[in-house]
Amino acid sequence: MRILAWVIAAAVAIVVIAFAVANRGPVSISVAPFPYSLDIPIWALAVGALVVGFLSGALVRWLLDHKVRRMARRGRRRARALEQELTGTRKQLDEAVRGQRATVPASAPVSLTPKDLA
């Protein structure tokens, strides 16, 4: 899987470099109400637009995934609490089994179930 990611990244890099080499000519950018004008290469404009689009999409996705992240945090907390409860219950069960063995004569077979300990 990692090799596939590198192959795809290399192919995208080659396409971007070829695009940049082929489109080195400057283009003038101006925003209508402002008196400023900027001359930049076409490739820089295209790559900049892709970067802005990627970052804005990532921001929107991050904002929309807030509920999922919150549910995951709650699930992790709940799992941690249940693991602690299970550890405590196992300790209590072990202590009860040890106490039961001490009262049973050594010659008698011991077979305990959780129902017997209740």
Full pLDDT tens readout for the chain, 118 residues: 889 999 998 998 899 889 888 888 888 888 888 888 889 988 888 888 889 999 999 999 999 999 999 999 999 999 999 999 999 999 999 888 887 765 555 555 556 566 665 5
The answer to whether residues 28 and 39 touch, using CB atoms and an 8 Å cutoff, is: yes
Please tell me the distance from the alpha carbon of residue 107 to that of residue 23, in angstroms, as a whole number: 92
* Tokens linked to 16: 């971007």
The whole-number pLDDT of residue 10 equals 94
The answer to whether residues 46 and 21 touch, using CB atoms and an 8 Å cutoff, is: no
The answer to whether residues 39 and 24 touch, using CB atoms and an 8 Å cutoff, is: no
